[in-house]
Structure 1
Amino acid sequence: MGSVVADCINYHVNWLGQVTACWDCTYDKSQLRIYLPGFQKLSWVQTRETTAHEVGHALGLDHEDDVRSIILSKGFLNDEYPQSDDWNGINAIY
């Protein structure tokens, strides 16, 4: 669609208690943000898929474009459920 409708920011808390945003680190907290003007233009399935995508990031999953995954970097699957690759990634992390 060409515009950001949601994102996930991950945070790390260092030994001093300072909170910093991080993209490539082990993180302690996540914040999901929804941008309503763009989000409201999505179909019902796309809103659910976008939400699942961002929750996947909060759980530690990175974009995947080589296999069918809810964590695509572009476009939609038009399926709001995590795929087998997503479950494999979650199982590997946890």
Structure 2
Amino acid sequence: MRPRLLLDGLLKYDLETGSTQVHEFGRGRFGGDSVFAPRPGATSEDDGWLLTMVWDALAKKSELLVVDARNITAPPVARIIMPKRVPYGFHANWVSEAQMATR
């Protein structure tokens, strides 16, 4: 069996200050790619949310975590339990309602 890369949190690195913030998913919980969803009317580059799928290997459940991108060390803004397992490598993109209206 080939070893897998398991991501157990999010890391925010500020290129201007060199500071970092970490959001740990918790014991037995692993995530994948994150998608940034900007807050409507945002004025700073990190004003919005990070959306990431997390697999809880202990509870055997997938969930979507919504994390405040300005403060990723805080608890999630929302946790949405998925009805089925979402596999590692699942990719997504954020499209606003305004962008959908132009399609």
The reply to whether TM is greater than 0.5 is no
Q: Which has the higher helix share?
A: 1
TM range (shorter): 0.3 to 0.5
- Larger-gyration structure (1/2): 2
Compare relative contact order (CA 8 Å, sep 6+) and give the higher one, 1 or 2: 1
Task: Compare the two structures and name the one with the higher strand fraction.
Answer: 2
> TM-score w.r.t. structure 1 length?
0.32
